[in-house]
Amino acid sequence: MNSFWHSLQFRIPAVFTISLLLILLAIFAVFSIVGKTMLEKQAYKQVILSGQNIVSELMGRVEHAESLAIALANLGEILPTKDDYWKKLARHIIDHNGSNVIIAGGGLWPEPYKYNPDLERSSFFWGRDKTGKLKFYDNYNKKSGPGYHHEEWYVPVKYLKSVRSFWSKSYMDPYSQEPMITVTVPMKRDNQFFGVSTIDLKLMGLHQYLEKITRSFSGYAFAMDRSGRFISFPDYKLTKLRDSASSQNQFGAFGSIQELAKRVPGFKILANEIDRINDDHIQKAMQTGRFNKDIVELLDKNSYQINNDEAKLVTAIYSHSAGKDLEMHRARQVFLKKDTLLGEPAFAAVYEMPETFWKIVTVMPYSKAVEDSNAIYTNLLYSASIATYVFLIIIFFVIKAILVGPISNMLTELQELSEDAGPDKNNGEGRKFLTIPDKSELGELAQCFNQRSHKLFEVQDELRKSQDTLRLFSAHQDNVREEERKEIAREIHDELGQNLLALNMDLHWMNERLPKSDKSLLEKSKKMSQLIDSTIKTAREITSSLRPPLLDEAGLEAAIDWYVEDYEKRHGIKCLLSVEMGDSVHELCNTATVFRVFQEAMINIAKHSKASVVSITIVVANSILVLNISDNGVGITPRDLKAVGGFGILGMRERTQSCAGKITITGYPGEGTVVRLEIPVSGGGDI
Ligand SMILES: Nc1ncnc2c1ncn2[C@@H]1O[C@H](COP(=O)(O)OP(=O)(O)O)[C@@H](O)[C@H]1O
Ligand SMILES: [Mg+2]
């Protein structure tokens, strides 16, 4: 039997398994290529959505503050320039219902000498104290102080004509230590710039709010002002405020993402993204041709808090339609290979809020995004493996049932048949054919095989018939030859022998009567008589060699005895003879066969074996005669036995077969040869 690897039972399921695995692999490949990008998109969507939530929440606060600032500005445009009015009404608007939570203060800030031609500084500013109550502050109007006309929140509104409302840099509320930002709205009188109104917006609780929103995706978010200064902080330790005490002014109190990126390189990508957004603003403004460099210079020069970069950005933002340009505020997606705060790969989205140009960043860990897909993967892998396993078992059994089973049945049947296919003992009866398993190709195969077997059997039958005829013919020939020999022997004996005897007697008679004096005549007749004697002897020898004289008269035993005696003399090989058989044996029909086989074996020994001793035993038992001849010669070789040329051995076999006997010839190299003949004796020679 072949090894299991070569069996169909292994190979066919193996092919199935491999193809199944390939299909699975393809599915996984497609899934990881297509599915992964889909999941990434989904993750970005979630990040963006939470960012949008943050934006809309902030917009609520921004709009509230802005509407208050506009209301305040409208008031400043129409109200008579009386301190009492300005002070009271400003307070009334700033303290508008519910404002105390997010509005830290606000005020009206006229241009120099416009409110009062005698006064350069005449602002009306209300701010909340520690208890949250509004207090009027006059600090900005102090003659010794720096005033307010050069503040960062004042100057841009004055020079940028298109500004509707301007949002300042972020700064820290001196009381609450909370981030804060100011919205400034211009006031006009007679189409002339008259000053500004401001509202200070508290960004208190923003950090908590961002945390709440981002908790759902285990990430974080933070907000920055226009130029990247933090409004909220993702990690207080990292992005903490700079020491406010050492800072000259309130605006210096916040760190920016660019500064943070210098300390913590992990933030560099996000910082660059913010810079890129702002650069885009400047580029766009330049492209539209509205970017006025004179204004940049004015802003730079007129505010000690605005440097050239800031002036450029502010000019760019407010001089083109960036505020309304949706394209500008679309979220930018960034992939962080290793986020500093999360310590793993993350998706980030950066937005810019309309109106305020604040930047919001939301970050989601990559692991969170692929969590679901991983779960799907494992599930899929698990169920696919089970499915494969079950499928394979089914395939295994199905193949066994429909293919391998029938084939191996057929194989067993074939093996049995081929073992049977020796010489047919039943004369063609009970011949076996393959069972046809079904109508499939296998069935057809079996059928074809059976047809072929049938033809073979026919040929075999014919061969056997002709063999039988030949055997009969050869037996007949043998008989005829035996008879002829007998006849010739008798003729020689009866006719030739008798005549020669008569001739010899006549010669004797003539010799008596011959004249004794004629010596030469006497001599001649004596020689004639001697010649006749030797001829008689030769004739006798011929007859006995043609047919052992004793075989017919005295039987097999006597004939063998006579032959052995003669053989020893002639070849000088010692013969040990032992015969045990009943008297009736010589009557059986096969004596001639036994004798001829014996004779041929003995001649072969003399001719080929170089033996010195031959042992011959003849035993009759159970109606079977067993003749055993063993010599101590060189031993017959298997090649000799198979050789076609040796007609002696062939004749031995033929004779034996024609008498339904059995002959075996065995050679032992260097030790001798054993010829064993078994032949049924019809006379019943039991001892
Ligand atoms: N007793 C034996 N010992 C050794 N070799 C033998 C013996 N009998 C037969 N052989 C070998 O078997 C061959 C075939 O014998 P046989 O058929 O009688 O043919 P032949 O005697 O004409 O050669 C012989 O040529 C001889 O080599
Ligand atoms: Mg021979």
CA angle 536, 542, 543 (to 5 degrees): 90
Q: Which ligand has the minimum distance to the alpha carbon of residue 642?
A: 1
Ligand 1 midpoint to CA 638 (Å):
11
Ligand 1 midpoint to CA 393 (Å):
64
Ligand 2 midpoint to CA 673 (Å):
13
Q: Name the residue of 609, 640, 666, 671 whose CB sits within 8 Å of the most ligand 1 atoms, as the mutation to test its pocket.
A: 640
Ligand 1 midpoint to CA 635 (Å):
9
Ligand 1 midpoint to CA 646 (Å):
7
Structure tokens at 153: 């929140």
Q: Atom 9, ligand 1: which residue's CA is nearest?
A: 604
Q: Which ligand has the minimum distance to the alpha carbon of residue 647?
A: 1
Nearest to 256 by CA among 336, 184, 310: 310
The one-letter amino acid at 424: D
In whole angstroms, how far apart are CA 351 and each of 172, 201, 359? Answer: 23, 20, 5
Q: Which range, of 238-242, 346-350, 511-515, averages the lowest pLDDT?
A: 238-242
Q: How confident is the model over 102-150, as pLDDT tens digits? A: 888 999 999 999 999 998 999 999 988 878 888 899 888 998 888 899 9
Q: Name the residue of 636, 647, 652 whose CB sits within 8 Å of the most ligand 1 atoms, as the mutation to test its pocket.
A: 636
**Pairing verdict, β 574-580 and 613-621:** parallel
Q: Which ligand has the minimum distance to the alpha carbon of residue 665?
A: 1
Q: Give 9's strand partners.
A: none
Average pLDDT of 228-256?
60
Structure tokens at 678: 């078994």
CA distance 252 to 245: 10
Q: Atom 18, ligand 1: which residue's CA is nearest?
A: 648
- Asked whether 166 and 183 are in contact (CB, 8 A), the reply is yes
Ligand 1 midpoint to CA 550 (Å):
27
Ligand 1 midpoint to CA 608 (Å):
6
- pLDDT higher than 70, residue 171: yes
Supply the pLDDT for residue 249. 42
DSSP codes, 422-464 = SS-SSTTTT--------SSHHHHHHHHHHHHHHHHHHHHHHHH
Mean pLDDT of the chain: 84
pLDDT band at 685 (very low <50, low <70, confident <90, very high): very low
Q: Which ligand has the minimum distance to the alpha carbon of residue 643?
A: 1
Q: Atom 1, ligand 1: which residue's CA is nearest?
A: 605
pLDDT band at 322 (very low <50, low <70, confident <90, very high): very low
Q: Atom 10, ligand 1: which residue's CA is nearest?
A: 636
Rounded percentage of the chain residues whose pLDDT exceeds 90:
24
- Asked whether 491 and 543 are in contact (CB, 8 A), the reply is no
- For 31-102, strand residue ranges (E) read none
Average pLDDT of 318-340?
71
Q: How confident is the model over 63-96, as pLDDT tens digits? A: 989 999 999 999 999 989 889 989 998 998 888 7
In whole angstroms, how far apart are CA 570 and each of 74, 612, 631? Answer: 162, 13, 17
**Pairing verdict, β 624-631 and 332-336:** unpaired
Q: Which range, of 135-149, 207-221, 597-611, averages the lowest pLDDT?
A: 207-221
Q: Give 25's strand partners.
A: none
Ligand 2 midpoint to CA 603 (Å):
6
Ligand 2 midpoint to CA 122 (Å):
154
Nearest to 345 by CA among 34, 40, 38: 40
CA distance 191 to 63: 25
pLDDT band at 2 (very low <50, low <70, confident <90, very high): low
- For 32-123, strand residue ranges (E) read 103-110
pLDDT band at 328 (very low <50, low <70, confident <90, very high): low
C-beta neighbour count of 524 within 10 angstroms: 13
Helix (H, G, I), strand (E, B) or coil at 678: strand
Q: How confident is the model over 534-591, as pLDDT tens digits? A: 998 888 888 877 777 677 777 888 889 989 998 999 899 999 999 987 765 555 657 8
Supply the pLDDT for residue 245. 40
CA distance 134 to 153: 21
What strands, in cross-sheet order, belong to the sheet with 359-365?
220-224, 359-365, 346-352, 332-336
Rounded percentage of the chain residues whose pLDDT exceeds 70:
90
Q: Given the structure tokens 């020069």, which residue do they identify?
A: 301
Q: Given the structure tokens 């497609």, which residue do they identify?
A: 30
CA distance 555 to 592: 10
Q: Atom 12, ligand 1: which residue's CA is nearest?
A: 640
Ligand 2 midpoint to CA 461 (Å):
32
Q: Which ligand has the minimum distance to the alpha carbon of residue 651?
A: 1
Q: Name the residue of 598, 608, 612 whose CB sits within 8 Å of the most ligand 1 atoms, as the mutation to test its pocket.
A: 608
Q: How confident is the model over 413-431, as pLDDT tens digits? A: 888 877 765 555 455 566 7
In whole angstroms, how far apart are CA 564 and each of 318, 559, 633? Answer: 144, 9, 18
Ligand 1 midpoint to CA 665 (Å):
11
Q: Atom 23, ligand 1: which residue's CA is nearest?
A: 646
- pLDDT higher than 50, residue 250: no
In whole angstroms, how far apart are CA 560 and each of 225, 592, 617? Answer: 137, 11, 11
Q: Which ligand has the minimum distance to the alpha carbon of residue 671?
A: 1
Q: Atom 8, ligand 1: which residue's CA is nearest?
A: 604
Q: Given the structure tokens 């509205």, which residue do they identify?
A: 290
Average pLDDT of 367-384?
78
Instruction: Show the ligand 1 pocket: residues with CB < 6 angstroms.
Output: 604-605, 607-609, 631, 633-634, 636, 640, 646-649, 673
Q: Atom 15, ligand 1: which residue's CA is nearest?
A: 646
